[in-house]
Amino acid sequence: MHTASTPRVALVTGANRGLGRALAHGLARQGLHVVTTARSIDAARQAAVELRDLGGLASGHQLDVTDPASVFRAFADTIHEHGRLDVLINSAAVAIDRNKTVSAPDMEIVQETMNANVMGVWRCCAQAVPAMRDGGYGRILNITSHLGSLSTMESSSPSYRISKAALNAFTLTLAHELADENILVNAASPGLTDTRLAYGTATQSAEAAAESMLWLALLPDSGPTGGIFHGPDRLAW
């Protein structure tokens, strides 16, 4: 049971910039202890300092979602230090195939994209779920994209689109497995947001996008699971 002296603990991947940073700030404002992670330990620690300077509870940890040993260390250290893990936000991702085509792929880019956007999330969830089971509570939010919707699938940025479609499928399968364990798993798309992945086409700030999806990391026990959302609305996929 969490109390004022033992706040819930959230780990955010890719928390040093963009949407991940904004989500980390939102969680800190809600009183959670936020473990800010980034591929660089300096960036992760700086993100935590920023939150603490604003009055939040935070610590930084190096985490590269493509490195299984790094993932294991980050979660093991977090759980050892706090004795719990309540919330996981998988925000870290890459979008590096804007000018590629399906019929003439660069398979190294495909592999790198899938490793970060799908396998990376899978690795993090596999480490988080045992601790959430131990605590009888968990909230997992996977950041997806409208580009991963099968119902509107097009050919641009193919490996990114396919990785997000796979992430949506992963979200639903994990949610189904955990449906009776009070571990709620959902995905959310920010839409066109001012981050490095937007290629100058943003229509909203990272802070506004984070605010629209933060509710999925703070759900009551009766909240939805296995959903894909944009703001309060479910997305077709």
Catalytic residue numbers read 160
Token pair of 216 as six digits: 């999925």
Question: What backbone phi and psi angles, to 5 degrees, belong to 199?
Answer: 55, 40
Q: Which residues sit opposite 59 in a β-bridge? A: 35
Contacts of 122 (CB under 8 A, 6+ apart): 170
Cα separation, 30 vs 26, in Å, equals 7
DSSP 235: P
Q: Could you give the dihedral angle defined by the CA atoms of residues 128, 58, 214 and 167, in that order, rounded to the nearest 10 degrees? A: -40
Joined tokens for residue 61: 């940890």
Q: Residue 194 burial by CB count (10 A; 0-12/13-18/19+): exposed, middle or buried?
A: buried
- Pair 10, 79: CB distance under 8 Å: no
